[in-house]
Every structure is written in C-alpha cells, then in structure tokens.
Amino acid sequence: MNTGLDNSILTLVTFIPLAGALLLVLFPRRNRDIRLFALVVSLLDFVLSLHLPVHFQRGQAGFQYEVNNLWISNPNIHYHMGVDGVSMWLVVLTTFLTPLCVLISWKSIHERVKEFFILLLVLQTALIGVFVALDLFLFYFFWEATLIPMALLIGIYGHGRRIYAAVKFFLYTMVASMFMLAAILWLYAKTGTFDFVSIQSAIHNGQVENFAGAATWLFLGFFIAFAVKVPVFPFHTWLPDAHVEAPTAGSVLLAGVLLKMGTYGMLRFNLGLFPEQSRSNAWWVMILALIGIVYGALVAMVQPNMKKLIAYSSISHLGFVVLGIFSFTQAGLDGATFVMLAHGVSTGALFMLAGILYERRHTYEIAEFGGLATPMPVYATFFLFIVLASVGLPLLNGFIGEFLVLSGAFRDRAVYGILGATGVIWSACYLLWMYQRVFYGKVTHSVNLSLPDLSGRERAALWPAAAAALVMGVAPLLWLNAIDPAVQNVLAPFAQLASKMVGR
C-alpha cells in the first residue's frame, strides 16, 4: 500500500497553502482572480489531504506517513511529522473548512482582499502544522505561527471592537503559550531532544533526571497553554470577544479548528507525556470542564447576539471534549475526538449561517429578526438542519460524540456523567429557542421581508457542511475505526497505571 506520495504527503498538505499565499503576494490586485486562486489552492489542498484517510492503515496504532529529517543540529530539532487517527482527521477538517471559508468570504470581504486571502492561507498552513508536528519544537513553532494571521484577520477585517478583541486574543494565548515554551525547554534541557516519541519513551522508562519533582509543573505548563486555547473555564473570556468581532471566515476557522488545537494538545501532550500527572489532576480538570459545559450553556441562553450565542455554545461543547479526554476511557476519548470533528463541521456551518445573515442585515441581534422562514425558506432549512446536528439529534454528527463522551464519563464517575448530560439538554434549549425567535412567527421587521434567499455560492458553501454532518452521523465508524487504535495507544500507559495501583 506504500505509494510514492506517502513520504511527502504531509509536507505537501501543510505547505501548499503557504506556497499559494506567497504566489498571491505577486498577484495583481484583481479581486476576482485572487478569490478564485485562493479557492483553487484550498480545494487542491483538500483533495490532496484525502489521500491521508484513503491510504491510512486502519488497524495500526502509532504514527503514519512519517517524515523525519534533521532540520537544525544544535539544538537537536527535527522536521518530524506524522499523523495518527486523531490528528489525521483534524487535518482533513482543516482542509475541508478552508475552501468553505473562501466561498463564504467571497463578497463580504471587499477591501484589502489580497491580504485577506494571504492571511487565510498562511493560517491554514500553521493550523495543519500544529496537528502534524511530532517534534515539540516544530509544534511550538506552528502553534505560535497561528497567532499572527488570526489576530490580523480579526483586527483588520472584524467589526466595531475588533482591535480590542484582536489584542486580547493575542495576549491571552501568547502569555499562556510561554508556559508551554518553558516546559518544552525544560524537557529539552533534560533529554537533549525535542522528539515527541523519544521524550515519551524517556519519561516512560524513567530516564529523565529530576522528573518526579518537575512533572506536575510541566503538566501545568502544557495545560495552561491548551486550556486558554480550548478555552476551559475560567480562561474563556477572550473567546466571545474574538468571535463576535471576527469576520465570518475567521470565526469558522477559530471555532472549527483553532479551539481544537487546545484539546488536541491535551490529548497528545498532557496525556501522552504525563499520564500519572493527568490522572492525579483529572478531578479538577473535569470539574472545570463541567462548569464550562453548564456555564457556557447558561450564558448562551441569555445572549441577545446570535454570534455570541454560538460562541458560548462552543465553550459548552468544548467542555464535553475536555470531559471525555480526562475520563481516560476508550469511549470518552473516542467521543472527545469525534466531538472535535463534529463541532468543527456544525459550528463552522453555524458561523457561516450567521455571517450570511450579517451580510444582508449587518447585525447579529436576534431581536432584529423573526419569521425569517417566510422570506428565506432554503436558508431556514439549512439552519434547522445544522441546529439539529449541533443539538445532538441521533443520526446527525453531534449525537455520537456526546453519547460516547457521556458514557465514558459515567464509567469514570457517575456524577460527572449526570452533570454532563444536562449540557445536552441545555444546548437543545438555547439553540432551538434561538431558532424559534429568528425563524418562526410573523415577520416583525418589514426590512426582513425582502431579504434574498441563499445564492448559489452560499449554497455551495453550506452543502458540504450539511452533507458531512449527515454522513458523520450515519456512518461514524468510517471515522472511529481510525480514531480507535490511536486512542488505545494514548490510553495504554493508563491501563498500566491502573494495574499498578491495583497491584499495590
């Protein structure tokens, strides 16, 4: 099965958007061509990234499509990339959402178009890099690299309070990732390598000096960086601001992919490098996750602003992911990974839908709408479909993940499962209520009567998301059979840990 592309596929998928961005720099300022070119590049990247799941060895644990070349000899930094079942799907999620972002920004971005698409493509490269990097240095490199294009997207193309939001976003994540950098440097100082696999085995075999004393701090160093990104309560305050001010494409990538960097990081690095510390700190992490689920849902409920509502719903949904990860059960981690993907698709779609409405009315206030199902029936149908997917209706993508997470949490501690399950109810409440207020009843504002329904371009952006939501709900095994071995691999040390404790 080893095709010639296997060795270079990750490099290609990661850097094609960057190459596209560099070509765009040289492009003349003809907006139409620029948009078209960005679309072609992102579609090409998506098609290429499909190579990953198609040729993936399903039953096999460990990393695939690995490349490992020396980049810098001192310090010992390798260009080491590889994916397992978890990161592979996150890469595909990124490449899937980017063309949709290009489509949805077609008209709404009409000034400084060239810079916009350059930033978008650079961001894509950085995001993919985060998921494929297996060298801690390379990982940090891409991690920081996501910051600048995202902050600029918010700060230049956002709405009213965009500068405040951009700076807040940048500072929160920058300060938090400094802690991770310190932890990475410590690990390098003690092991002489940045390689994830080598450090993992060094820690596992007890070859790291002073590790016992530092382990909790290292765990926290990584955790803080990831927790701010997710965001875990109480580090979430940057998120609503960033989302409300960001342009639609920025919100889609922020909610769809950027937040998953945090949960992916927890899964890969917190659990992967510090199993014992993860175990002993799990209780408070899970409590924070539960607070996030309930708090996010309750705050979402009272939002008068549609986009802010979706933003808070993200906090709630990402709480599920963290809950699943720190339950240390097969079902919990499978579910967490699945929620990451499902949330990326459906919340991405929700932000696109909100953006479509904003293009027409230039407001996100729910009170400004009402009865929209009459002038915009197709739009209303798409919206309902995505809302139901988000709520967790069986046979759509939201259900499987949340179900698995909750069953994992129940197995870990029943109380967590019960509290988490209320989150599902809450999410039905706020989303359906919002839907009702926006679409049902009589048209309250006469301007809304003449709103045009979806254009062909907008449908082209929404169809793939809706289709993905359905397929993921009907045939989750397509995803789960790749995720499963990867999760087993992550959980292997935990089983040993448990038997060690029982042995005592």
Verify binding: residue 140, another protein, rule CB under 8 A. Answer: yes
Alpha-carbon distance 287 to 280, whole Å? 13
Verify binding: residue 274, another protein, rule CB under 8 A. Answer: no
Verify binding: residue 150, another protein, rule CB under 8 A. Answer: no
At 134, which amino acid appears?
A: L
At 102, which amino acid appears?
A: V
Verify binding: residue 152, another protein, rule CB under 8 A. Answer: yes
Packing angle, helices 136-145 and 147-157, rounded to 10: 10
Alpha-carbon distance 380 to 374, whole Å? 9
Alpha-carbon distance 152 to 145, whole Å? 12
Alpha-carbon distance 234 to 240, whole Å? 13
Stretch binding another protein (CB under 8 A), from 136-144, 195-203, 248-256, 320-328: 136-144
- Kindly tell me which residue out of 185, 291, 428, 471 binds another protein, with binding defined by CB under 8 A: 185
**Token digits for 143?**
């991690």
Alpha-carbon distance 154 to 476, whole Å? 34
- 440-to-315, 372, 377 alpha-carbon distances in Å: 27, 7, 11
Q: How far is the CB of 191 from another protein (least distance, A)?
A: 12
Q: Is the Cβ of residue 167 or residue 287 nearer to another protein in the bound state? A: 167
Verify binding: residue 182, another protein, rule CB under 8 A. Answer: yes
| 59, 39 contact by CB (below 8 A) | no
What torsion do the CA atoms of 434, 438, 442, 448 make, to the nearest 10 degrees?
170
Alpha-carbon distance 249 to 256, whole Å? 10
Count of Cβ atoms closer than 10 Å to residue 387 Cβ = 23
Q: Is the Cβ of residue 170 or residue 312 nearer to another protein in the bound state? A: 170
Alpha-carbon distance 457 to 438, whole Å? 23
Q: Which of residues 294-333 bind another protein (CB under 8 A)?
A: none
Measured over the CA atoms of residue 183, residue 187, residue 193 and residue 198, the dihedral's sign is negative
Phi-psi region at 84: left, alpha or beta (left = phi > 0; alpha = psi -120 to 50)? beta
- Kindly tell me which residue out of 82, 99, 155, 335 binds another protein, with binding defined by CB under 8 A: 155
Q: Which of residues 11-40 bind another protein (CB under 8 A)?
A: none
Verify binding: residue 425, another protein, rule CB under 8 A. Answer: no
Q: How far is the CB of 190 from another protein (least distance, A)?
A: 9
- Kindly tell me which residue out of 36, 40, 171, 302 binds another protein, with binding defined by CB under 8 A: 171
Verify binding: residue 166, another protein, rule CB under 8 A. Answer: yes
- Kindly tell me which residue out of 147, 357, 406, 491 binds another protein, with binding defined by CB under 8 A: 147
SS3 call for 422: helix
Q: How far is the CB of 228 from another protein (least distance, A)?
A: 12
Q: Is the Cβ of residue 186 or residue 358 nearer to another protein in the bound state? A: 186
Stretch binding another protein (CB under 8 A), from 40-48, 173-181, 281-289, 383-391: 173-181
Verify binding: residue 211, another protein, rule CB under 8 A. Answer: no
- Kindly tell me which residue out of 19, 61, 67, 148 binds another protein, with binding defined by CB under 8 A: 148
Q: Is the Cβ of residue 170 or residue 385 nearer to another protein in the bound state? A: 170
Verify binding: residue 178, another protein, rule CB under 8 A. Answer: yes
Residue in 497, 501, 491 with CA at minimum distance from that of residue 271:
491
For the window 69-108, what string marks contact with another protein as x by the rule CB under 8 A?
A: --xxxxx---------------------------------
Contacting residues toward another protein, per CB under 8 A:
71-75, 112, 115, 140-142, 144-145, 147-148, 152, 155-156, 162-163, 166-167, 170-171, 174-175, 178-179, 181-182, 185-186, 188-189
